[in-house]
């Protein structure tokens, strides 16, 4: 299991927020600061999202990475599919097979495989019900609640250079 879905979802949520609240895109450095990773990692994920048609690049003032589609039309399932390697499994299986001399081993492997397939399908169904817009708005509401004040409180994300006040969120 890797963190690409988490990074990609975070990136898209922040881009949706910046477009809605500040009318601008996001730079890879801003995204890296928010996610807490290196800009190289962000640019790799941005490439996958761009290839999937979920983001585009905009030059000039207010430029950077922007959503290529309405955030209400981008599900987290689409994000998952954009960053998941074809044929790879979300939950790893036995890397080298199971012990050939143990009659229980293949039955355990089969049992776990069936369980993991069901779990992966349940995750995909859940991700299909959540849009980037819904996630971004829910996160904005949670920020307001966490900060405990609906009035102007200050920057929602100073470390990333974002200047939108919490009162403007959601």
Answer yes or no: is 104 within a domain: no
Of residues 136 and 159, more confidently modeled: 136
Which of the four pLDDT bands, split at 50, 70 and 90, describes residue 152?
very low
pLDDT tens-place string over residues 47-66: 999 999 999 998 887 779 99
Rounded CA-CA distance 94/128 in Å is 28
Range of the domain at 146: 4-91+131-168
CA dihedral (158, 33, 71, 140) positive or negative: negative
Answer yes or no: is 102 within a domain: no
Answer yes or no: is 79 within a domain: yes
CATH number reported for the structural domain that contains residue 28 in this entry: 1.10.10.10
Confidence check: pLDDT of 164 > 90? no
Number of domains the chain contains? 1
Cα Rg of the chain (Å, integer): 19
Tokens 């971004």 correspond to 136
Q: What is the pLDDT of residue 149?
A: 60
Of residues 22 and 63, more confidently modeled: 22
């Amino acid at each position: 299991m890797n963190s690409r879905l988490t990074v990609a979802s975070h990136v898209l949520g922040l881009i949706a927020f910046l477009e809605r609240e500040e009318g601008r895109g996001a730079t890879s450095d801003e995204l890296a600061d928010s996610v807490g990773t290196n800009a190289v990692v962000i640019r790799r994920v941005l490439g996958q999202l761009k290839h999937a048609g979920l983001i585009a690049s905009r030059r000039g003032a207010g430029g950077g990475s922007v959503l290529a589609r309405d955030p209400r039309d981008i599900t987290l399932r689409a994000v998952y599919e954009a960053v998941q390697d074809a044929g790879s499994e979300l939950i790893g299986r036995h890397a080298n097979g199971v012990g050939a001399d143990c009659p229980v081993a293949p039955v355990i492997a089969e049992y776990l495989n069936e369980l993991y397939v069901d779990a992966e399908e349940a995750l995909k169904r859940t991700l299909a019900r959540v849009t980037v817009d819904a996630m971004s708005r829910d996160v904005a509401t949670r920020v307001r609640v966490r900060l405990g004040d609906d009035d102007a409180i200050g920057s929602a994300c100073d470390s990333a250079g974002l200047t939108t006040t919490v009162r403007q969120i959601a």
